[in-house]
C-alpha cells in the first residue's frame, strides 16, 4: 500500500517572510504530505500580536515523539479553520521572541536559521523524511551568528559530504544551471576555466537526463561576452568555453549514455525514469530521440541576449549560465512564481523558492506563497520519482 510522502521544511530566517508563508500554505501542504517544520517557534510567535492577521493558529502537543537524539522543543502546529497541521521541531528553544525583531536579521535569527537547516538536513539524510524544502535565509544574519557560509547550497553540500553540487532552477518553460553562484563578477572572469565549465556542463546534463528521462537532452552554454565575443573582437573567453563544450562531449563519449557522474550521490535509483514521467504535470514527456544519438547534445557558447528566448521557444532543454545574474534575471522575469531552486548532487532532494527573506514585507501578510508551494510540490513529485510512487503534488494555480 502506498504511504503518504513526508516532507521537512526548514523555516528560514524567523524574522523574514518564512513563518507567514508557512502558515498560509500549511493547509494545502497537509493535503499533499506529512509535514515536519524545523525552525524557531519564536518566528511564529512574532506574528501573534499583529492585528488583522488572515491566519489563526495554535500550538498543540506533538503528534509523536521527537526523533531519537534530537535536543530541542517538539510540538504541533495547527492552523485553525482549515485542516492544516504539522509536527514542529525547534533546535534553538532558548531563542525567545524578545531576542528577535520582525523584519530585521540578527545573530539570534541567523543561528536559528542555520541550526534549523542542519537538523532538517539530518532528517533527510537519515530517511526520516523523503525530501527537504528550505525557506529563505539571510546570509548576513548567518555571518553575524558565526556561520561563514555562502548560502544553503554550499552548507548542505558540506553537511552531506557531497563531492559536487550545482544550483539549478527549473520551471515549465525554462531550466537553468549556474556554473558559479555567490561570487563577484570580476572573480567569475578571472577564474574561468575550461575544465571547470566542462564539469558543470557534463554534471548538469547527467542529472537532468536522470530527472527527465530524456537521454537526448539539448544543453546550451551561455557566452560570457556580447555577441559571443564576435570572433575575438569583444574578448577571447569564448575560445575557452568552446574547449569546455568539447570536453563535456568527450566525457559523455567516454562514459556512455549514463554520463561521467553516474556514481556520485543521488536520491534517485539508477533505473530509467518511469514511463511518462515529467518534472511538471500536464506537460508532455520531453523526449527528443535522434537516430543514432547516444547522449546529450551540447551547443555554444551562444550569445546570452538571445539564448534564453531560443530555449523558451523549445530549441533547448537546459541552459548553463556562467554566473548568478546571467541565469537568474531571465528565469525570474519569465517564471516569477513557478521557478524553483533545485540542488543537484545531494544524496537527498532539496528544493527552495527562488526569492529571499523579504524583510521589508515581514509581518505585513502580503508575501505571495505560490513560489514556496511550487518548491514543496516539486520536492514531493521528485520524492515520488525516487521511490517510484505516484506522488503528484502540483501548485500551478494561483
Question: Based on the domain organization, do 197 and 301 belong to the same domain?
Answer: yes
pLDDT, greater one: 17 or 67: 17
Question: Based on the domain organization, do 77 and 226 belong to the same domain?
Answer: no
pLDDT, greater one: 392 or 220: 220
Taking residues 158-168, what's their average pLDDT? 96
Non-local (6+) Cβ contacts of 366 within 8 A are none
pLDDT, greater one: 288 or 9: 9
Q: Residue 83's pLDDT is what? A: 76
Q: Are 176 and 342 in contact (CB under 8 A)?
A: no
Question: Based on the domain organization, do 158 and 256 belong to the same domain?
Answer: no
Q: Minimal CA–CA distance to 248: which of 324, 177, 169?
A: 177
Q: What is the 3-state secondary structure (H, E, C) of 106-154?
A: CHHHHHHHHHHHHHHHHHHHHCCCCEEEECCCCHHHHHHCCCCCCCHHH
Q: Residue 280's pLDDT is what? A: 84
Question: Based on the domain organization, do 284 and 367 belong to the same domain?
Answer: no
Please report which confidence band the pLDDT of residue 398 belongs to, taking 50, 70 and 90 as the band edges.
Answer: very low
Q: Which of 161-165, 313-317, 384-388 has the lowest mean pLDDT?
A: 384-388
Res 233 pLDDT > 80? no
Alpha helices in the chain (DSSP H): 18-32, 41-45, 107-126, 139-144, 152-160, 185-190, 194-212, 237-255, 304-312, 324-334, 370-387
Give 350's strand partners: 132
Question: Based on the domain organization, do 182 and 298 belong to the same domain?
Answer: yes
Question: Based on the domain organization, do 158 and 25 belong to the same domain?
Answer: yes
Taking residues 29-35, what's their average pLDDT? 94
Could you report the per-residue pLDDT of 106-161, keeping only the tens digit for each? 999 999 999 999 999 999 999 999 999 999 999 999 999 999 999 899 999 999 99
The predicted model scores a pTM of 0.92
pLDDT above 70 covers a percentage of the chain that reads 94
CA distance 350 to 73: 24
Q: Residue 228's pLDDT is what? A: 80
Q: Which of 85-99, 101-115, 203-217, 315-329 has the lowest mean pLDDT?
A: 203-217
> In this structure, what CATH number is given to the domain that contains residue 95?
3.40.718.10
Query: Would you state the cell numbers that stand for residue 363, as one nine-digit string?
Result: 509581518
| Average model confidence (pLDDT) across the chain | 90
Q: Residue 214's pLDDT is what? A: 84
Question: Based on the domain organization, do 296 and 270 belong to the same domain?
Answer: yes
Q: Residue 285's pLDDT is what? A: 53
Q: Minimal CA–CA distance to 168: which of 387, 324, 8, 283?
A: 324
Taking residues 313-325, what's their average pLDDT? 96
Question: Based on the domain organization, do 140 and 25 belong to the same domain?
Answer: yes
Could you report the per-residue pLDDT of 186-220, keeping only the tens digit for each? 999 999 999 999 999 999 999 998 888 888 899 99
Out of 345, 367, 389, pick the residue that ends a domain: 345
Res 272 pLDDT > 90? no
Question: Based on the domain organization, do 114 and 171 belong to the same domain?
Answer: no
CA distance 28 to 230: 51
Domain count for the chain, please give it. 2
Question: Based on the domain organization, do 31 and 127 belong to the same domain?
Answer: yes
Question: Based on the domain organization, do 16 and 69 belong to the same domain?
Answer: yes
Q: Which of 5-14, 118-127, 229-238, 263-272 has the lowest mean pLDDT?
A: 229-238
The range of the structural domain enclosing residue 40 comes to 1-162+347-398
Question: Based on the domain organization, do 145 and 261 belong to the same domain?
Answer: no
Amino acid at each position: 500500500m502506498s504511504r503518504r510522502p513526508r516532507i521537512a521544511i526548514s523555516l528560514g530566517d524567523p524574522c523574514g517572510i518564512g513563518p507567514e508563508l508557512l502558515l498560509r500554505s500549511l493547509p494545502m501542504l497537509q493535503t499533499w504530505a506529512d509535514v515536519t517544520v524545523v525552525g524557531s517557534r519564536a518566528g511564529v510567535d512574532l506574528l501573534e500580536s499583529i492585528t488583522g492577521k488572515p491566519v489563526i493558529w495554535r500550538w498543540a502537543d506533538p503528534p509523536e515523539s521527537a526523533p531519537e537524539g534530537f535536543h530541542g522543543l517538539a510540538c504541533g502546529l495547527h492552523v485553525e479553520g482549515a485542516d492544516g497541521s504539522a509536527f514542529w521541531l525547534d533546535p534553538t528553544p532558548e531563542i525567545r521572541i524578545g531576542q528577535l525583531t520582525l523584519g530585521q536579521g540578527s545573530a539570534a535569527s541567523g543561528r536559528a536559521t542555520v541550526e534549523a537547516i542542519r537538523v532538517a538536513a539530518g532528517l533527510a539524510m537519515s530517511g526520516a523524511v523523503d525530501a527537504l524544502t528550505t525557506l529563505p535565509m539571510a546570509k548576513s544574519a548567518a555571518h553575524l551568528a558565526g556561520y561563514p557560509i555562502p548560502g544553503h547550497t554550499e552548507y548542505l553540500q558540506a553537511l552531506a559530504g557531497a563531492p559536487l553540487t550545482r544550483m539549478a532552477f527549473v520551471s515549465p518553460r525554462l531550466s537553468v544551471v549556474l556554473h558559479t553562484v555567490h561570487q563577484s563578477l570580476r572573480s567569475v572572469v578571472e577564474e574561468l576555466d575550461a575544465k571547470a565549465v566542462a564539469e558543470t556542463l557534463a554534471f548538469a546534463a547527467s542529472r537532468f537526463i536522470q530527472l527527465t528521462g530524456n537521454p537526448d537532452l539539448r544543453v546550451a552554454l551561455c557566452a560570457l561576452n556580447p555577441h559571443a565575443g564576435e570572433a575575438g573582437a569583444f574578448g577571447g573567453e569564448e575560445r575557452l568555453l568552446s574547449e569546455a563544450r568539447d570536453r563535456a562531449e568527450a566525457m559523455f563519449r567516454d562514459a556512455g549514455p549514463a554520463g561521467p557522474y553516474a556514481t556520485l550521490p543521488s536520491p534517485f535509483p539508477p533505473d530509467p525514469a518511469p514511463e511518462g514521467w515529467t518534472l511538471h504535470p500536464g506537460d508532455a514527456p520531453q523526449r527528443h530521440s535522434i537516430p543514432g544519438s547516444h547522449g546529450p547534445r551540447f551547443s555554444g557558447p551562444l550569445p546570452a541576449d538571445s539564448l534564453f528566448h531560443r530555449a523558451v521557444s523549445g530549441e533547448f532543454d537546459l541552459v548553463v549560465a556562467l554566473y548568478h545574474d546571467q541565469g537568474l534575471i531571465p528565469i525570474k522575469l519569465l517564471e516569477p512564481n513557478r521557478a524553483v531552486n533545485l540542488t543537484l548532487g545531494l544524496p537527498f532532494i532539496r528544493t527552495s523558492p527562488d526569492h529571499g527573506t523579504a524583510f521589508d514585507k515581514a509581518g505585513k501578510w502580503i508575501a505571495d506563497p505560490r513560489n514556496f508551494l511550487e518548491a514543496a510540490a516539486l520536492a514531493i513529485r521528485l520524492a515520488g520519482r525516487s521511490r517510484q510512487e505516484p506522488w503528484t503534488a502540483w501548485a500551478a494555480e494561483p
